[in-house]
Chain A
Amino acid sequence: MLKKYSGHPYIMWSLIFIVFPLLLVIYYSLVKASPETGKIIFSVEGYKTFAQPLYLKVFMKSIILAIEATVLCLIIGYPIAYIISTMQAKTQKIVALLLILPMWMNFLLRTYAWMAILKKNGFLNMFLEALGLPTVNLLFSDGAVLLGMVYNFLPFMVLPIYTVLSKIDKSVIEAAGDLGANSKTVLRKVVLPLSIPGVMSGITMVFMPAVSTFVISSLLGGGRSVLIGNLVEQQFLSVNNWNFGSAISVVLMVFILISMGLMKRYDAGEKGEMSLW
């Protein structure tokens, strides 16, 4: 009984608060106030506008940036998740909390603090100068944007991976060792595959919001580029073209859901059950 009805409250909730607003967005993307009569008419103008090279370029840039940030988070984050999982039980919980604590400080504050660190006359350069090393010019570069993105998304990659790693059945690892595997092989062939569910969640929680992030790029990147997030916000606020803004969002949704679906094919998944995509 639990299994059957456990999900029902959420199904109800999501229908009201996720699906209905989604339908609203799709509706907005397909209608526009006719310039002549002012009445609401069906229009795919938003989608057509988006198909132009200018906007597709923006779209690609956002996707690539998000992929880079996600990959970096994975490379940097997996080891730390593993390390935490090998700590004493008590320490593990504290370290996990300490990992996410910085994210409770306001995002703008943190980003401005990074600007104070990375700028020409900032703390990093002060530190380097004190050591007699050459100074760096990191602020307002693509590197600074990536750094900012990794900074803000790293805990969301680490935590799900860590929670899975922390409970990998030790006896499985011992068995592998008994069968002659050295620690590298154990890692590759046993631990890694078993941690995939956590990795998938981590990638989901990083990649998806990363695509629509733009504030980090505006601040740490010096506003030198425009991302899909900028575009959507402009359309909803400055330009008041909800038709275009919604069209962009729908395209984004479809694209990401499909690509996430494709990625899940690599997921070992439950035996004998094929995913929809």
Chain B
Amino acid sequence: MMPPSLELQGVCVHYGNQAAIEQASLTVGGGELMALVGPSGCGKSSLLGSINRMTDSIPGCRVSGRVLLGSEVVSARHDSATLRRQIGMVFQQPNPFPLSIIDNLRFPLSEHGVPRRERDGRAEQALRAVGLWEEVKGRLHQSALGLSAGQQQRLCIARALVLQPRVLLLDEPCSALDPVSSKVVEELIVSLKGRYTLLMVTHNLAQARRIADSVTVCWMQEGCGCVVESNGCRQVFEHPSHPITAAYCAGEAG
């Protein structure tokens, strides 16, 4: 089944009186990978966090605008647990729980009421999906903190996938990794296209160009982040419609 599209309509994120990003609109096609690029501090991560409502737990943070999953408006929903089952998230720093490898996957499953007998099967499925199964099947009960950084990040992706989401938000998933691990994780992300709708923040323009179907460029204007261009990957890199995009993608700004 094709995953739903993800659409943001006029999303604004405020911290107290300070706007982090204003009137951001973008659409990620179902099963596509969109790269969210732009200089530091232009509100990319705030925008990402507003989608699965990580912003709820930040004191003084207000979000307005609409988020749609397919045709359903999910930003109006009160229950963030269901939302976060549908929209998984992966962070910049690999952050597996200080539990065993298998418990990193069993724990969220048990929290979401998946029957005990199904948990190990789903855990294996998730580990296979991220290509980690063969590497760790002999030490599932050892601490996840003993894995390499790249393996930890793949475990974190598996942990997000184990809840069977439709959308995955990735906040610079490769930037804390060495080049070799980074390449493995990048290939993994490409392999997820089609089965999941993916929105990835990255500072690596070459990576965005390599793997993204579409690109959204964020920028600081008048002290506040905004979306200056959101379009197909080739369009943005080869025929940018906005002078900021052109300069940024040519390495002249940002």
- Say if A and B assemble together: no
Interface residues of B (CB under 8 A from A): none
